[in-house]
Amino acid sequence: MVLVYAESPRGQFKKAAFEAVTFGKKLADQMGCPCAAVVLGPVQGDPGELGRYGASRVLQVSDDALQTLDSQSYTQVLAEVARQVGAEVVVMSHTSTGKTLAGRVAVRLKAGLVSGVSGVSEVSGDGRLVVRKSVFSGKATAEYAIISPIKVLSLMGNAIRPEVEGQAVPVEALSVAVPAPRVRVREVRTVEGRVPLPEAEVVVSAGRGMKDPSNWGIVEELADVLGATTACSRPVADSHWRPHHEHVGQTGIAIRPNLYIAIGISGAIQHLAGVNNSKVIVVINKDPEAPFFKAADYGVVGDLFEVVPRLTESIRKFKAAQ
Amino acid sequence: MKFLVCISQTPDTTARVAFTPDGKAYDGTGVTFIMNPYDEWYALVRACELREALGGTVVALNVGPAANETTIRKALAIGADEAVRIDAEPTSSAFTARQIAEYARSENFDLIFLGKETIDYNGAEVGAMVAEYLDLPYIAFASKLDLEGNRAVVERDIEGGVEVVEVDLPFVVSAAKGMAEQRIPNMRGIMMARTKPLKVVPPVPVEEPVQVVKFTLPPPKAGVKLVNPEDMDELVRLLHEEAKVI
């Protein structure tokens, strides 16, 4: 059995949960076993919808105590559910929730863990599972064999597209004792509006070449027509031109969108470390010697104050014609 | 207060990445190693600030060979009071976590700090594992941490925002950007670091449930395709038809 923990931060499934179930289903097919999804805490909507992504069973522990992400109570519950269903592989998402839990669950289940997995290389009959992940901030790929009887994986965001292939299934309510959380939430501050950077498929990012924070309108407009999330380089965040949660790079957030558009960013190695895993990189910079061009798929050498509005207009035209 | 800060040594950000001919291990020949930035800038500095405000001891712990002692001395120069080196090659997160936990088990630390991840293997696994071995709460990706008596108030990064949580000591925390500001060791710190205690502890045996199959370098990029800045329709066409991303 492959057991997927379908996370539901603040009671809502995000793309990460659908990706994890899709991945779990494909892995289960390779292993010749079923895939179950487990949901922790109350959620909005019908968790049985996870069946559409390939889960043949959807299990829910809906105790209110699980509204707080406490790694100890979550681990207790996940380990108990894994034991009840006889899970050979437990799949999670490589998100802040998943990273809070994966190591802990692996220790509890005496399981080998590989986190940030981007794909499965080999499922062998003798119980070995070989998986791939990106290491050294996208500068290399590693393959690891997990040899323990139980295995834990966390799936890198955007590594697989969610696929609808089945239908909703009835939800099985599990009764599992939930210990009282030792972590208490005082306050939640969310950033409304755009898709959070780690989940974003398209990211429009800008750097010091913008010259002044008041010039960001053209970046926002480009992001709007693309349905993209905005990001920035470290110097921009450090000078408070943009909020810190937009900072991508070595010390900020590492992202892996399908499309990353870098505007007026020179491409220091610390910045590249956070964006190397993007599928396609477009660089717009007036300096043809900017190191970012070496890492780019497409480059535009020109004045960003002319090029960006022109690109926005071309995309608007393209979207209207679609 | 007794603080433990787990520090890891990683290749410098700008170091070239190469592997041994069999592809089984990282080849660090000629590479400069540094203290993992998240451990140094945020975890270690915040622990030192709390010690300065509240009194107590900051212990820096590294799992690694004798060659790591330069990095360990740097932690002492920045402000740790003493250091411990578990004398073993840190072969995996499972191995490292077990060594840290075995050492910390009998030491009754009030707070155990780590960086949110290392910049080489990017696993973010060790903190949760240590917390589980020690049966302690774990707060990952903390961007702010204050103590109110025996209780901590911590801001943690969550998907799309920040959550402010409180938790009683002791617990394990992983530090992210925002928790503190980088400190450059001064001459006095560097001199004092030479005489601070550095204890070497033998490792405990660990069964490895995960094995390296191989490391590979990505094929070189095909090279950038330059598009005429006057012709953004062409860029849109390429992104749609060739790259298939819009």
Q: Give me the architecture of the A2-173 domain, per CATH.
A: 3-Layer(aba) Sandwich (3.40)
Number of domains in chain B: 1
CATH of the domain at B64: 3.40.50.620
Closest Cα in chain A to B121: A135
Helix A217-226 / helix A304-321 crossing angle, nearest 10 deg: 20
The pLDDT assigned to B160 comes to: 76
Burial class (CB in 10 A: 0-12, 13-18, 19+), B30: exposed
- Which of A161, A114, A112, A101 has its CA nearest to residue A142? A114
Closest Cα in chain B to A72: B137
Does the beta carbon of B191 lie under 8 angstroms from any beta carbon of chain A? no
C-alpha A144/C-alpha A129 separation (Å) is 8
Answer yes or no: is B74 within a domain: yes
pLDDT at A306 over 90: yes
Residues 6+ apart with CB under 8 A from A106: A112, A113, A152, B94, B125, B129
Q: Considering the entire predicted model, what is its pTM? A: 0.92
Q: Each residue of B93-150: pLDDT tens digit?
A: 999 999 999 999 999 999 999 999 998 888 899 999 999 999 999 999 999 999 999 9
List chain A residues with CB under 8 Å of B177: 244, 247, 251-252
Beta strand pairing status for B151-158 and A171-173? unpaired
Contact B229 A302 (CB under 8 A): yes
Beta strand pairing status for A57-61 and A89-93? unpaired
Average pLDDT, chain B: 96
pLDDT at A123 over 80: yes
C-alpha B145/C-alpha B159 separation (Å) is 19
C-alpha B153/C-alpha B128 separation (Å) is 19
C-alpha B214/C-alpha B216 separation (Å) is 7
Are B242 and B51 in contact, with CB atoms under 8 Å apart?
A: no
Answer yes or no: is B30 within a domain: yes
Contact B158 A106 (CB under 8 A): no
Confidence class of residue A58 from pLDDT cuts 50, 70 and 90? very high
- Which of B63, B70, B75 has its CA nearest to residue B37? B75
Burial class (CB in 10 A: 0-12, 13-18, 19+), A4: buried
Q: Structural domain of residue B31, as residue ranges? A: 2-214
The pair of structure tokens assigned to A294 is: 């070496």
Ramachandran region, residue A136 (left: φ > 0; alpha: ψ -120 to 50; beta: rest)? left
Q: Each residue of A65-94: pLDDT tens digit?
A: 999 999 999 999 999 999 999 999 999 999
Taking each continuous run of H as one helix and of E as one strand, the counts in chain B are 7, 13
C-alpha A300/C-alpha A115 separation (Å) is 36
List chain A residues with CB under 8 Å of B93: 103, 113
Are A210 and A226 in contact, with CB atoms under 8 Å apart?
A: no
The B residues from 12 to 51 touching A (CB cutoff 8 Å) are 13-14, 17, 19, 37-38, 41
pLDDT at A157 over 80: yes
Enumerate long-range contacts of A30-35, CB under 8 Å, 24 or more apart: A30/A120, A30/A123, A31/A2, A31/A88, A31/A89, A31/A123, A33/A1, A33/A2, A33/A88, A34/A1, A34/A2, A35/A1, A35/A2, A35/A3, A35/A4
Does the beta carbon of A140 lie under 8 angstroms from any beta carbon of chain B? yes
Q: What is the distance of C-alpha B221 from the center of its chain?
A: 30
Verify cis geometry, omega within 30 degrees of 0, for the bond prior to B205: no
Contact B120 A306 (CB under 8 A): no
Are A131 and B9 in contact, with CB atoms under 8 Å apart?
A: no
- Which of A159, A153, A157 has its CA nearest to residue A35? A153
pLDDT at B171 over 90: yes
Identity of residue A301: V
Q: Each residue of A17-39: pLDDT tens digit?
A: 999 999 999 999 999 999 999 99
Please give the torsion angle defined by the CA atoms of residues A192, B178, B32 and A262, in that order, rounded to the nearest 10 degrees.
30
Tell me the average pLDDT across B163-177: 97
Confidence class of residue B13 from pLDDT cuts 50, 70 and 90? confident
Contact A96 B235 (CB under 8 A): no
Confidence class of residue B180 from pLDDT cuts 50, 70 and 90? very high
C-alpha A209/C-alpha A223 separation (Å) is 17
The A residues from 146 to 175 touching B (CB cutoff 8 Å) are 146-148
pLDDT at B219 over 90: no
Tell me the average pLDDT across B5-20: 93
Q: Each residue of A127-136: pLDDT tens digit?
A: 899 999 999 9
Bridge partners for A38 per DSSP: A5, A59
Could you tell me which CATH class the domain A197-321 is placed in? alpha beta
Answer yes or no: is B237 within a domain: no
Answer yes or no: is B38 within a domain: yes
Q: ipTM, 2 decimals?
A: 0.94
The overall longest dimension of chain B from CA atoms, in Å, is 68
- Which of A249, A250, A236 has its CA nearest to residue A206? A236
Domain residue limits, chain A? 2-173, 197-321
Choose among B38, B123, B221: nearest Cβ to A116.
Answer: B123
Answer yes or no: is B75 within a domain: yes
Contact B210 A301 (CB under 8 A): no
Contact A318 B139 (CB under 8 A): no
The pLDDT assigned to A245 comes to: 86
Residues 6+ apart with CB under 8 A from A5: A20, A37, A38, A40, A78, A90, A91, A92, A93, A98, A101
Q: Each residue of A233-280: pLDDT tens digit?
A: 999 999 999 998 899 998 888 899 999 999 999 999 999 999 999 999
Q: Which residue has the tokens 């929730």?
A: A97
Residue A267, SS3 per DSSP: coil
